[in-house]
Amino acid sequence: DIQMTQSPSSLPASLGERVTISCRASQGISNNLNWYQQKPDGTIKPLIYYTSNLQSGVPSRFSGSGSGTDYSLTISSLEPEDFAMYYCQQDASFPFTFGSGTKLEIK
Amino acid sequence: QVQLKESGPGLVQPSQTLSLTCTVSGLSLTSNSVSWIRQPPGKGLEWMGVIWSNGGTDYNSAIKSRLSISRDTSKSQVFLKMNSLQTEDTAMYFCARESSYILLGYWGQGVMVTVSS
| pLDDT tens profile B1-28 | 789 999 999 999 999 999 999 999 988 8
The answer to whether the Cβ–Cβ distance between B61 and A97 falls below 8 Å is no
The per-residue pLDDT for B64 is: 95
Q: pLDDT (tens digit, 0 to 9) for every residue of chain A, 107 residues total?
A: 999 999 999 999 999 999 999 999 999 999 999 999 999 999 999 999 999 999 999 999 999 999 999 999 999 999 999 999 999 999 999 999 999 999 999 99
Residues 53-92 on A with a CB inside 8 Å of B are 53, 55, 87, 89, 91
The per-residue pLDDT for A50 is: 97
Question: Interior CA angle at B53 toward B52 and B54, to 5°?
Answer: 90
Task: Give mean pLDDT, residues B95-106.
Answer: 92
The per-residue pLDDT for B33 is: 95
The per-residue pLDDT for B26 is: 81
Chain A contact set for B59 (CB, 8 A): 95
The answer to whether the Cβ–Cβ distance between B92 and A42 falls below 8 Å is yes
What is the Cα gyration radius of chain A? 13
Nearest to B61 among A34, A53, A95 (CB): A95
Q: pLDDT tens for residues B72-92?
A: 999 999 999 999 999 999 999
- Which of B88, B89, B81, B38 minimizes the C-alpha distance to B57? B81
Q: How far is A98 from chain B (nearest CA, A)?
A: 6
Task: Give mean pLDDT, residues B50-66.
Answer: 96
The per-residue pLDDT for B21 is: 98
The answer to whether the Cβ–Cβ distance between A43 and B107 falls below 8 Å is yes
The answer to whether B3 contacts chain A (CB < 8 Å) is: no
Per-residue buried b or exposed e for B7-44, using 16+ beta carbons within 10 Å of the residue's own CB = ebeeebeeeeebebbbbbeebebeebbbbbbbbeeeeb
- How far is the C-alpha of A55 from the C-alpha of A76, rounded, in Å? 16
Chain centroid to CA B30: 17
Q: Report the percent of chain B where pLDDT is more than 90.
A: 89
Q: Nearest chain B residue to A43 by CA: give it.
A: B109
The answer to whether the Cβ–Cβ distance between A44 and B94 falls below 8 Å is yes
Residue B45, pLDDT above cutoff 90: yes
- Which of B97, B92, B83 minimizes the C-alpha distance to B23? B97
The per-residue pLDDT for B100 is: 84
The per-residue pLDDT for A20 is: 98
- How far is the C-alpha of A55 from the C-alpha of A62, rounded, in Å? 10
Q: Nearest chain B residue to A102 by CA: give it.
A: B44
Antiparallel, parallel or unpaired: β B34-39 and B46-51? antiparallel
DSSP annotation string for chain A:
---EEEE-SEEEE-TT--EEEEEEESS--TT-EEEEEE-TT--EEEEEETTTEEPTT--TTEEEEEETTEEEEEESS--GGG-SEEEEEE-SSSSPEE---EEEEE-
The per-residue pLDDT for A28 is: 98
Chain B contact set for A86 (CB, 8 A): none
